[in-house]
Amino acid sequence: MGMLTTHPCSGITGYFAHSENGAGVKHELVQHLKEVAQLAGEFAAKFGARDFGYCAGLWHDLGKFHPDFQSYIENPRGRRGPDHSSAGAVQAMACFEPLAFPVAGHHAGLPNWADLKGRLREKSSSLQVVEALRVARTHLSSLAPAEPLLQKLPRFLAATPSRHSASERLERETELFLRMVFSALVDADFLDTEAHFDPQLSMQRDGAPALEELWNRFEKDQARVTGRHRDQLNQLRHEIYGASVNAADEVQGIFSLTVPTGGGKTRSGMAFALRHALRHGLDRVIVAIPYTSIIEQSADVYRQVFLNGVLEHHSAVASREDVTDPISLGDVWARLASQNWDAPIVVTTTVQLFESLFGNRPSSCRKLHNIARSVLILDEVQTLPTHLLEPILDVLQQLVDHYGVTVVLCTATQPTFTAGPYLRGLGGVREIVPDPPRYFAALKRVRYEYLSAGERWTWERVAEEMRTADQALAVVNTKRDAFALLDALDDPAALHLSTQMCGAHRLETLHEVRRRLEAGRPCRLISTQVVEAGVDLDFPLVLRALGPLDRIVQAAGRCNREGRLEAGRVVIFDAVGSSSPPGVYRSGIDIAAGLLASGCDLHDPRTYEVYFERLFQATELDGKGIQKSRRSLNFAEVAEKFRMIEDDSAPAVVRPEGHGEKVGNLLAVVRRREAAPRSVFRRLQPYLVSVRSRLIPTFERNGLLQKVAPGLWEWLGGYDRVRGLVESAREPGDLVI
């Protein structure tokens, strides 16, 4: 590549990177360094950083030239190997200081700046590092690039800022740049090491169809449905789809797809993304969705169309696998592709996406370089956590400006993410579908009923309203309220959904709800917010406790969903003695109450622009100070602070009716190994309920919890077939979060 010149190795140098593989061959060190350098350079070239990826790859294992490490390779005996990353980090400090971060952290993770400086101050004069670098120079003709790396910086990092605000921006851009180089390095290192130890497994990474083939399948499938029916709903879906295809030819940037529930958002968004990726020579489409229930629905739609090439990456995937079944070739490909998102279409969670973008561990950051040159669809974008919004939007803007990413913001309740007095927002957002209010007006399927200001119902009055229809859904804000309404309804056939139940139980309940609805049988369901976004249910009557405005509209999406009625009823009520989550959620309720009292139109998407503007004004949008930590290059600190879901809970395994034997077998595997192997733990996920951490000692003393492995308990108390976790001495809502 012309940047570094190294003499080809003549035979074996006698220095090795890894021990023997199955064929009895050791991994030669110079070969490993050069191959990782080449591959990391190729990955980083996508964002103008080939030389930085190459150097990071060449330097990352220089410490392995020390005799102590070579002795360890000869006889590891289960020991942890000597430090081998510090020598390369010292070399990086001498050539281009920031590159020491990815080199030093390629196993342990990106460190904080002060920790890195302290470590390298100590290591730079150590005999081990000095000797390793001396030996390295005898096997590599030059460890330094021919031209200073400072002169090779991408254009957006090369300018010297003259103003304070510009300086802060440059610091944040440097932080993301180093993450991307780190990603290129660790993925290249993993891939080259895998090729040494398991070349057959390595070869199974190939074989996914090209985007052009997937687009052809998509067009063929879409031709079966689009424009075929003359009713208004299908004609409007056809118009939205056509507008999405036409907009795909526009230049890259940030787009919004504001489509009402039932408007065909899933297919139209994918049509835009695939066509846009082909038009601009991009590598993949990434769809990030907030809830696994929606992911599974969307991934099923995509698989029916594309057959293969779709990677579904989230925590519930492994739990659907049977440990006794042989792994198919497709399963192997999916597992391998999930490590680095090397797939044409990736369907994942927003938690997985953003906790990777703000993480510091190699396993979470490995995929980041494959986000470059992609179309990134953010579905139900209004669910992004408000207290993390400033760092999230900053990173999204950088991905668009510097890494060849196109972002699509999808929702029926579109927030105002453009820059304003209360938000450092996104620039140049373009709407894919012209005149969204026209489609919202045309696709009205519900009639909203809101109690007069100050009027409050008892739970008995809410229950009475539910009884006016054979099929009714009530959505409340907390589990405590769900149980209060369930008691007031006093219907033995009623169903319930909340996180008081394990995932497998919730899934079975949803199946039963759908079965009753489709058969026209009575069905009354009381749920917390778990039922709102994307769950495909269709009730003639929905009652929604006063909540944030976007949550109310999401609940309304479960009413007259298929348009079989002239208008479904959505009743918004405020209950005596009701509760709500604190913080931003409570602020959203107060703002929603004010807008509803003023007579706002919930069928007008402009209403949500006003709502979110007020919410952003009332909320700290970087409540953890993440931007300051990013500017200081404190990567470990950022990873610790950035949590999409605040969690003071621990997982407890339950045994719902019909699953006891399966759960027991999995727990036996965990107990025999005295730890929870990742694959077994993931298969237990459908049977986990989160228990408040502060209550664990009490539950253990009372014989309700038993520790199975570090960080994992088994629930020995009651588990109700409707309510889920129960414990007679307490209110059920006190047990879980």
**pLDDT confidence tier of residue 233, bands split at 50, 70 and 90:** confident
Q: Which residues touch 231 (CB under 8 Å, ≥6 apart)?
A: none
SS percent in the chain: helix, strand, coil, step 5: 50, 15, 35
In terms of domains, do 223 and 352 share one?
Answer: yes
Higher-confidence residue of 599 and 333: namely 599
In terms of domains, do 91 and 234 share one?
Answer: no
Using the predicted structure, report yes or no on whether residue 1 has a pLDDT greater than 60: no
**pLDDT confidence tier of residue 680, bands split at 50, 70 and 90:** confident
Using the predicted structure, report yes or no on whether residue 337 has a pLDDT greater than 60: yes
Average pLDDT over residues 579-596: 94
Write out the two tokens for 182.
């780190």
**Is the residue at 573 inside a domain?**
yes
Domain ends where: 174, 203, 232? 203
Amino acid 39: pLDDT = 97
CATH number at residue 456: 3.40.50.300
Which structural domain range is residue 654 located in?
649-734
Among 166-180, 316-330, 641-655, name the one with the lowest average pLDDT: 316-330
Question: How remote is the C-alpha of 1 from its chain's centroid?
Answer: 36
In terms of domains, do 424 and 498 share one?
Answer: no
In terms of domains, do 306 and 455 share one?
Answer: no
Using the predicted structure, report yes or no on whether residue 197 has a pLDDT greater than 70: yes
Using the predicted structure, report yes or no on whether residue 321 has a pLDDT greater than 60: no
Nearest alpha-carbon partner for 633 in 178, 182, 321: 178
What is the reported pTM? 0.89
Average pLDDT over residues 162-184: 83
* Side chain identity at residue 418, one-letter code: T
What's the pLDDT tens digit per position in 451-505?
Answer: 887 899 999 999 999 999 999 999 999 999 999 999 999 999 999 999 899 989 9
**Is the residue at 640 inside a domain?**
no
In terms of domains, do 481 and 557 share one?
Answer: yes
Q: Which residues touch 141 (CB under 8 Å, ≥6 apart)?
A: 5, 6, 7
**pLDDT confidence tier of residue 6, bands split at 50, 70 and 90:** very low
**Is the residue at 618 inside a domain?**
no
What's the pLDDT tens digit per position in 606-652?
Answer: 999 999 999 999 999 999 999 999 999 999 999 999 998 876 788 89
In terms of domains, do 141 and 251 share one?
Answer: no
Higher-confidence residue of 617 and 226: namely 617
**Is the residue at 622 inside a domain?**
no
In terms of domains, do 177 and 304 share one?
Answer: no
**Is the residue at 196 inside a domain?**
yes
| Cα dihedral sign, 310-314-318-319 | negative
Using the predicted structure, report yes or no on whether residue 360 has a pLDDT greater than 90: yes
Exposed, middle or buried, 727 (CB in 10 Å: 0-12/13-18/19+)? middle
In terms of domains, do 515 and 538 share one?
Answer: yes
Write out the two tokens for 21.
């593989």
Domains contained in the chain, number: 4
Exposed, middle or buried, 115 (CB in 10 Å: 0-12/13-18/19+)? middle
Q: Which residue has the tokens 């281009």?
A: 96
Amino acid 166: pLDDT = 60
Amino acid 5: pLDDT = 33
In terms of domains, do 452 and 356 share one?
Answer: no
**Is the residue at 608 inside a domain?**
no
What's the pLDDT tens digit per position in 126-169?
Answer: 999 999 999 999 999 788 888 889 889 998 887 544 444 567 88
Among 60-64, 169-173, 350-354, 423-427, name the one with the lowest average pLDDT: 423-427
Amino acid 562: pLDDT = 80
Higher-confidence residue of 672 and 279: namely 279
Amino acid 145: pLDDT = 87
Write out the two tokens for 583.
């913080």
**Is the residue at 63 inside a domain?**
yes
Using the predicted structure, report yes or no on whether residue 731 has a pLDDT greater than 50: no
What's the pLDDT tens digit per position in 372-399?
Answer: 999 999 999 999 999 999 999 999 999 9
User: Rounded distance, CA 400 to CA 651, Å?
Assistant: 37
In terms of domains, do 155 and 259 share one?
Answer: no
Amino acid 48: pLDDT = 95
Domain ends where: 173, 203, 233? 203
Question: How remote is the C-alpha of 218 from its chain's centroid?
Answer: 25
Average pLDDT over residues 347-370: 94
Backbone phi and psi for residue 148, each to the nearest 5 degrees, phi listed first: -55, 135
In terms of domains, do 127 and 25 share one?
Answer: yes
**pLDDT confidence tier of residue 732, bands split at 50, 70 and 90:** very low
Amino acid 141: pLDDT = 79
Using the predicted structure, report yes or no on whether residue 721 has a pLDDT greater than 80: yes
Amino acid 57: pLDDT = 97
In percent, the amount of the chain with pLDDT more than 70 equals 90
Amino acid 683: pLDDT = 84
**Is the residue at 662 inside a domain?**
yes
User: Rounded distance, CA 617 to CA 600, Å?
Assistant: 19
What's the pLDDT tens digit per position in 47-93?
Answer: 999 999 999 999 999 999 999 999 998 887 767 778 899 999 999 99
Nearest alpha-carbon partner for 373 in 341, 335, 349: 341
What's the pLDDT tens digit per position in 253-284?
Answer: 999 999 988 888 889 999 999 999 999 999 99
In the chain, what is the greatest distance between 2 CA atoms, to the nearest angstrom? 86
Domain ends where: 567, 586, 602? 602
In terms of domains, do 434 and 449 share one?
Answer: no
Amino acid 323: pLDDT = 30
Amino acid 59: pLDDT = 97
